């Protein structure tokens, strides 16, 4: 698992194997928009402030992935121990 700190909410959650960032974050920030939850629509795109996302979506370009500026939190995970998201 890995830690996700929510910069605007001031909370930190732990995402275990087998659960998505979206699912875990929703327990503390219920109003996060999503649609496909499969990494294909872009609805859950979230700004990444710190850390290295593991992009697992189907829609971001190589340039967008490399910038690590945003990620799709329905499928994306972390390569670092901790991510800081703009949520
Ligand atoms: Fe569609 Fe995340 S909800 S990409």
Using a 6 Å cutoff on CB, does residue 42 contact ligand 1?
A: yes
In this prediction, residue 52 has a pLDDT band, given cuts at 50, 70 and 90, of very high
Q: What ipTM was predicted for this assembly?
A: 0.99
Q: Average pLDDT, stretch 42-55?
A: 98
Q: What is the pTM of this model?
A: 0.96
Q: Give the separation between CA 74 and CA 45, rounded to whole angstroms.
A: 9
The predicted structure's pLDDT at residue 26? 97
Pocket test for ligand 1, best of 39, 60, 71, 73 (most atoms within 8 A of CB): 39
In this prediction, residue 30 has a pLDDT band, given cuts at 50, 70 and 90, of very high
Distance 77 CA to ligand 1 centre (A): 13
The predicted structure's pLDDT at residue 49? 98
How much of the chain, in percent, has pLDDT values that exceed 70? 100
Q: Average pLDDT, stretch 31-41?
A: 97
Q: ∠ CA 13-84-40 to the nearest 5 degrees?
A: 90
């Amino acid at each position: 698992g890995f830690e996700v700190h929510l910069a605007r909410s001031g909370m930190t959650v732990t995402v275990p194997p087998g659960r998505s960032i979206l699912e875990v974050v929703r327990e503390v920030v219920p109003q996060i928009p999503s649609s496909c939850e499969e990494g294909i629509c872009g609805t859950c795109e979230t700004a990444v402030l710190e850390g290295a996302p593991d992009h697992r979506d189907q829609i971001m370009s190589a340039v967008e992935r490399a910038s690590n500026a945003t990620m799709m939190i329905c499928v994306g995970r972390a390569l670092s121990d901790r991510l800081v998201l703009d949520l």
